[in-house]
Structure 1
Amino acid sequence: MIISTIGSTSRTRNGDEEIRWRSLARRGMLHSECESFDYVRLAPGTRFALRGREGIESAWFVVAGSGRLLEPDSDAPARALEPGELILLPDGKQGHLVSGDTGLELLWLAVMPRELSQSLPPRRPEL
């Protein structure tokens, strides 16, 4: 398993929009339901697509800042986000975040869907 800190982040910039991210942990075994655990920081006014990868479910936890969650396939109004909010994104669903005036800091946990992890052979820990 790879483990790191948020001390040094990668950066993507498009005009005034900026996304910083850092992988905090990645799975290292076939039988791990946890795919990855990442830190993401959005500059104020940044739009960020919550697409994920096929076969992965996501949990996004708002650590700091504010923003809005937009669901493209829904008539629901944008949902306000603040610290402590949790966004659950099942496999195949999408959403967009727009960070507020102070930006937005998130933790992203990506896991295998239950249907997939249940089909794996039983684990046999080795000491």
Structure 2
Amino acid sequence: MIITTTGEAVRTAVDTAAEADWTCLVRRGMLHSECEAVEHWRLAPGAVLAATPRHGVEEAVLVLEGELGVSAASGEHSLGAGQLVLFPHGCAARLTAGSDPVRLISVRTLAAAVTDRLPPRVPELLRS
């Protein structure tokens, strides 16, 4: 069993002067899946995060608190608490915190273009 907390965040620089606190809750090696990471973010008002196509992942972002602006090829969108946005592999987007702080959960998984090239991952069954 692995227990993590959002209370010990790392301060990170983002694309603006505003700051963001980041906590990785789960990394790929901790799971038997193609999940790259599960992360908790606290964005200061005006903070900007970039989703870039070169990362090779698909990403789901769930807004927990605040208002998050999303700018992508499909246009400008505004998400509030409880709303989810999915970014397919190859999608570039900018996530911008509104006038209040934003808390969100990000789940990144490897794209099919990547996992199709990996050997199968089969769990080992241990006798007790």
Does residue 42 (structure 1) correspond to residue 43 (structure 2)? The answer is: yes
Supply the AA of the counterpart residue of 1:8.
Answer: E
Equivalents in 2 of 1:108, 1:12: separation in Å? 15
Equivalents in 2 of 1:19, 1:52: separation in Å? 21
Which residue number corresponds to residue 34 of structure 2?
A: 33
Deviation at 1:123, TM superposition (A): 3.5
Structure 1: gaps spanning 5 or more residues: none
Equivalents in 2 of 1:30, 1:106: separation in Å? 21
Paired residues, number: 124
Q: CA RMSD in A?
A: 2.6
Residues 5-27 of structure 1 show CA distances to partners (whole Å, capped at 9, x for unaligned) of 11110112577501110000001
Deviation at 1:29, TM superposition (A): 6.9
Equivalents in 2 of 1:29, 1:106: separation in Å? 21
Residues 80-106 of structure 1 show CA distances to partners (whole Å, capped at 9, x for unaligned) of 110111111111111111111221111
Deviation at 1:122, TM superposition (A): 3.5
| Identity across the alignment (%) | 40
User: TM-score when scaled to structure 1?
Assistant: 0.82
Deviation at 1:31, TM superposition (A): 6.2
2:32/2:123 contact within 8 Å kept: no
Structure 2: gaps spanning 5 or more residues: none
1:3/1:25 contact within 8 Å kept: no
Which residue number corresponds to residue 69 of structure 1?
A: 70
Which residue number corresponds to residue 9 of structure 1?
A: 9
Equivalents in 1 of 2:56, 2:2: separation in Å? 21
Greater strand content:
1
Structure-2 change in CA distance of 1:30 and 1:16 (3 Å)? closer
